[in-house]
Amino acid sequence: MIDPQAWLAKRTGRFDSSGIRKVFDLAARLSNPINLSIGQPDFDVPEPIKEECIAAIRQGKNGYALTQGIGPLREKLQARIDAQYGHEDRRVFVSSGTSGGLVLAVLTLVDPGDEVIIFDPYFVMYEPLVQLAGGVPVLIDTYPDFRIDLDRVASAITSRTKLILINSPANPTGVTLDAGQIEGIARLAAERGVALVSDEIYREFCYDSPFVSPAQFNPQTIVIDGFSKSYGMTGWRLGFVHGPRAVIESMLKIQQYTFVCAPHPVQWAGVVALDVDIRPHIEAYRRKRDRIVEGLADCFELVRPTGAFYAFPKVPWGTGSDFVRRAIEENLLIIPGSVFSRRDTHFRISYAASDETIDRGIEVLRRLARQRPGSTAS
């Protein structure tokens, strides 16, 4: 009898299972862990959004939606996008989550052998997704401050470069690029004729300055966005993508033969979500950010997060993996930086958690910072 392993496509061997999922599996086995690993809001979906989804289900809106999304949601999104950018050629469609939008963008734009520039550290999905499409990830190191060096980007662009993938505010660092950096990368992509994809799922979580999109400077930017983080709808799988009409139409062709459509009743909830005020949640997360920074600043080397809900401290001893293993022994769940990077020097904290959980995590981290492997110091 043949080993089923022999049936597997070669592309499946190019990457391992997500290190984040491994931590989630571990969390399920621990008793009352201090969980600062999960990249999803700790607030629930606002009640008006829930009620609209329930109503849509009860009204029988449970079949397939149009591949491009229901009219009321697309029209509302398009009006907002038009008001913000004023691009005649910019169109929007509804995707099955932001991750679904990223999958469609890469499959639409990247041929085997094409190079895709990714900034290290990066969201865990980026590199494997490029590899699935047969592309070649080109990683540009952004340590120690996680800013983009435009000269390094310009030098990395070759005749094979098809795409630059940018994420600001960023997962895992929490860093938000300033307007000058955003404009620089946008104009560089336009000058070199390289596609630019901007992952803007954390755009609402900007704490120190207004959000800036590269689409403001480069009208051909493809923007990936969604409802998961802003409205606590991570399990509802509702996103949207906007960009040049030709790209959007090609992405829709692939959506038709893959995801088919975003969940139908959830799309009706999305119409209501766009009018829900989430500013109180953003303010709460600003305070959580400050809580983490103030609690760790004297023990860890930490670039101050300015967006999203992550911090990415440098470990005070050992490797990131060593430090995380020690933290897990103390019932604290965090993610090693090597999950997001070619380096193993940092770890990711998600402060999308209760203040009590954050405080417990800070206590453990401060204690660990004073220790060394084999030490029993407290």
Cα separation, 3 vs 94, whole angstroms: 40
Characterize the bridge pairing of strands 335-336 and 90-95: unpaired
pLDDT of res. 354 = 96
Domain ranges of the chain: 4-45+278-369, 61-273
pLDDT of res. 74 = 98
Q: How far apart are the first and last CA of the chain?
A: 56
Q: What would the mean pLDDT of 152-157 be, rounded to a whole number?
A: 98
Cα separation, 244 vs 188, whole angstroms: 18
Q: What is the pLDDT of residues 328-354, one digit of tens each?
A: 999 999 999 999 999 999 999 999 999
pLDDT of res. 25 = 66
Helix, strand, coil percentages, rounded to 5, for the chain: 45, 15, 40
Q: Is the pLDDT of residue 16 over 90?
A: no
Q: What is the pLDDT of residues 161-171, one digit of tens each?
A: 999 999 999 99
The helix/strand/coil state of 90 is strand
User: Residue 4: pLDDT band by 50, 70, 90 thresholds?
Assistant: confident
CB-based contact 366:55 (threshold 8 Å): no
The rounded radius of gyration (Å) of the Cα atoms in the chain is 21
Residue for token pair 């229901």 = 70
DSSP per residue over 227-264, as a string? Answer: STTTTT-GGG--EEEEEEHHHHHHHHHHHHTTT-SS-H
Q: What is the pLDDT of residues 35-90, one digit of tens each?
A: 999 899 999 999 999 999 999 999 999 999 999 999 999 999 999 999 999 999 99
User: Residue 377: pLDDT band by 50, 70, 90 thresholds?
Assistant: very low
Instruction: Give the chain's mean pLDDT.
Output: 94
Taking each continuous run of H as one helix and of E as one strand, the counts in the chain are 12, 12
Q: What percent of the chain has pLDDT over 70?
A: 95
Q: How many CB atoms lie within 10 A of CB 112?
A: 8
User: Kind and range of the H or E element at 187?
Assistant: helix 179-192
CA angle 370, 374, 378 (to 5 degrees): 35
CATH architecture, range 61-273: 3-Layer(aba) Sandwich (3.40)
Q: What would the mean pLDDT of 118-145 be, rounded to a whole number?
A: 97
User: Kind and range of the H or E element at 59?
Assistant: none
Q: Is the pLDDT of residue 201 over 50?
A: yes
Residue for token pair 């910019």 = 90
Residue 334 per-residue DSSP state: -
pLDDT of res. 56 = 98
Q: b or e along 45-56 (b: 16 or more beta carbons within 10 Å of the residue's beta carbon)?
A: bbeebeebbeeb
* pTM, rounded to two decimals: 0.94
- Contacts of residue 343, Cβ cutoff 8 Å, sequence gap at least 6: 120, 121, 141, 143, 320, 337
pLDDT of res. 15 = 73
Q: Which of 10-14, 44-48, 109-113, 276-280 has the lowest mean pLDDT?
A: 10-14
CB-based contact 339:312 (threshold 8 Å): no
The 3-state secondary structure of 132-152, one letter per residue: HCCCEEEEEECCCCCCCCHHH
CATH architecture, range 4-45+278-369: Alpha-Beta Complex (3.90)
- Contacts of residue 368, Cβ cutoff 8 Å, sequence gap at least 6: 316, 323, 326, 327, 330
CB-based contact 134:259 (threshold 8 Å): no
Q: What is the pLDDT of residues 228-278, one digit of tens each?
A: 999 999 999 999 999 999 999 999 999 999 999 999 999 999 999 999 999
